[in-house]
């Protein structure tokens, strides 16, 4: 009979056999990464381009280009594109990140030919209608103006500028005047130079129909498309971190203050990345973290607080983020610095470290459930030029990290003098 008074034995996860994609190549050189898994007759195709914000000359260009691709093509209007994809049970998702932009199609296998043909048309011959551009840019500007009244948005925008510099692609914030700088010609130029067969990779996941590889080659691999002679350029790669450590964006009518504390760091290719991830989880990376226990549960200053290590292809940064009552802003900051200092001064208790290790590895197991999740895991290494042995190293580092190593990492990267503080609201 099962004894429920005794917890089951814990077994450390040392290795997981993660299904890896099959790598093929279309006739024009486009690489296709296919994860053929799952029982539902559904497939996801992601067209990935190095066309994120890192490559734009000034704010808005990358996101406007990607979002306006579906507003018209040589064969379809915006409404026809939406209606056709929807009629066949599909879904089109356009995303613009810091480094990559993607056009993703979710489609039923039986209607794959009908939906992929639409994607082919918007990629090969988008029209970027002026009326659609005007509607989009006006709506985006209104949202920008509304969001600019929120302390959380103000702190996030300013924090990026402080870390990277306002001229760096990762730090450049959207200003009101940027909406007047962007126009159709700029959008068309960015599309021409970044959305082409030489700058494209395709990630396929799900229950892949047999005819898919042949159809992909026919539609996207028969010849080069787009401006394949263009060389990708970055406008300003120099990081210009502020020397001033404390910054206040005063908002007299604020009921809450938004807090950001952090610093420039590294991405997941760095040798200290794994150990810092453990340290970050202890500090503010999950619901049972120290910051949550202190500032939410004990002090009641906030509904939520967290920390993270953001990994970008060309850099990274550490951050602590929360919103607190305006009257307890300084008290919350004091507690944040107190928790960081404890990590520098004291060893983490073995019981806490074991809990966090179990949490991290459990989260990883949940993150590889299903073909679409497996595709996301692949992207997480592919974008950085890493291979799947990265995950074996990850498990080894998590399982073997010691309390002494964590204290060393805290002293190496979390000195208070190295942290930049940004508050929007009152202090």
Span 152-189, pLDDT tens digits:
999 999 999 999 999 999 999 999 999 999 999 999 99
Mean pLDDT of the chain: 95
CA distances in angstroms from 170 to 161, 162, 338, 403, listed in the order given: 8, 11, 29, 33
Model confidence at 348, in pLDDT bands (50, 70, 90)?
Answer: very high
Topology at the third CATH level for domain 22-220: Cytochrome Bc1 Complex; Chain A, domain 1 (3.30.830)
Tens of pLDDT, residue by residue over 298-333, are 999 999 999 999 999 999 999 999 999 999 999 999
The token pair at 1 is 């009979």
The token pair at 385 is 């030029």
The token pair at 254 is 């604020």
Contact 183, 136 (CB under 8 A): no
Q: Tell me the mean pLDDT in the region 127-149.
A: 97
Contact 294, 372 (CB under 8 A): no
Beta bridge partner(s), residue 261: 320, 421
- Look at residues 328, 320, 321 and name the one whose alpha carbon lies nearest to residue 254: 328
Model confidence at 237, in pLDDT bands (50, 70, 90)?
Answer: confident
Q: Can you give the pLDDT at residue 229?
A: 77
- Look at residues 45, 37, 7, 15 and name the one whose alpha carbon lies nearest to residue 364: 15
Alpha-carbon distance of 324 to 330, in angstroms, equals 10
- Look at residues 140, 138, 121 and name the one whose alpha carbon lies nearest to residue 78: 121
Query: Is 246-425 in the same CATH topology as 22-220?
Result: yes
Tens of pLDDT, residue by residue over 18-49, are 999 999 999 999 999 999 998 899 999 999 99
Is residue 1 over pLDDT 70? no
Q: Can you give the pLDDT at residue 12?
A: 65
Radius of gyration (C-alpha) of the chain in whole angstroms: 24
Residue 149: its H or E element: none
Dihedral (C-alpha) 344, 349, 353, 355: value to the nearest 10 degrees?
-140
Q: How many helices (H) and strands (E) does the chain have?
A: 15, 11
The token pair at 127 is 């029209």
What is the DSSP secondary-structure string of 233-269?
A: --S-------S--EEEEE-TT-SEEEEEEEEE---TT
Contact 138, 132 (CB under 8 A): no
Which residue has better confidence, 39 or 354? 354
- Look at residues 49, 65, 47 and name the one whose alpha carbon lies nearest to residue 57: 65
Give residue limits of the domains in the chain: 22-220, 246-425
Topology at the third CATH level for domain 246-425: Cytochrome Bc1 Complex; Chain A, domain 1 (3.30.830)
What is the DSSP secondary-structure string of 153-208?
A: HHHHHHHHHHHH-TTSTTTPPP-TTHHHH--HHHHHHHHHHHSSGGGEEEEEEES-
């Amino acid at each position: 009979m099962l004894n429920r008074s005794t917890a089951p034995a814990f077994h450390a996860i040392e290795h997981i056999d993660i299904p890896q994609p099959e790598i093929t190549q279309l006739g024009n050189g486009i690489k296709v990464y296919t994860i053929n898994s799952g029982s539902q007759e559904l497939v996801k195709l992601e067209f990935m381009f190095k066309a994120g914000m890192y490559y734009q000359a000034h704010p808005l260009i990358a996101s406007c280009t990607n979002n306006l691709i579906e507003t018209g093509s040589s064969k379809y209007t915006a409404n026809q594109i939406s209606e056709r994809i929807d009629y066949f049970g599909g879904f089109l998702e356009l995303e613009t990140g810091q480094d990559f932009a993607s056009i993703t199609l979710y489609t039923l296998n039986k209607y794959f030919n009908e939906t992929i043909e639409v994607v082919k048309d918007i990629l090969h011959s988008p029209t970027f209608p002026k009326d659609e551009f005007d509607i989009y840019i006006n709506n985006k500007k209104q949202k920008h103006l509304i969001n600019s009244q929120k302390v959380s948005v103000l702190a996030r925008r300013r924090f990026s500028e402080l870390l990277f510099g306002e001229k760096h692609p990762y730090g450049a914030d959207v200003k009101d005047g940027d909406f007047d700088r962007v126009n159709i010609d700029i959008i068309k130029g960015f599309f021409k130079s970044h959305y082409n067969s030489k700058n494209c990779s395709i990630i396929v996941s799900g229950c892949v129909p047999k005819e898919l590889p042949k159809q992909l080659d026919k539609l996207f691999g028969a010849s080069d498309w787009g401006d394949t002679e263009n060389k990708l350029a970055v406008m300003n790669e120099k990081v210009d971190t502020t020397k001033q450590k404390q910054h206040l964006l005063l908002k007299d009518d604020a009921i809450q203050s938004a807090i950001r504390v952090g610093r420039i760091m590294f991405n997941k290719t760095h040798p200290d990345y794994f150990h810092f991830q453990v340290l970050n989880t202890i500090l503010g990376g999950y619901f049972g973290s120290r910051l949550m226990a202190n500032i939410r549960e004990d002090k009641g200053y906030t509904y939520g607080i967290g920390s993270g290590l953001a990994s970008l292809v060309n850099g990274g940064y550490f951050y602590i983020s929360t919103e607190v009552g305006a009257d307890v802003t300084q008290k919350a900051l004091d507690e944040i610095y107190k928790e960081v200092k404890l990590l520098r001064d004291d060893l983490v208790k073995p019981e806490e470290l074991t809990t966090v290790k179990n949490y991290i590895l459990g989260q990883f197991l949940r993150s590889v459930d299903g073909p679409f999740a497996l595709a996301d895991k692949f992207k997480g290494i592919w974008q950085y030029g890493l291979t799947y042995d990265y995950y074996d190293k990850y498990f080894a580092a998590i399982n073997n990290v010691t309390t002494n190593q964590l204290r060393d990492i805290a002293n190496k990267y979390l000195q208070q003098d190295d942290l930049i503080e940004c508050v929007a609201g009152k202090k």
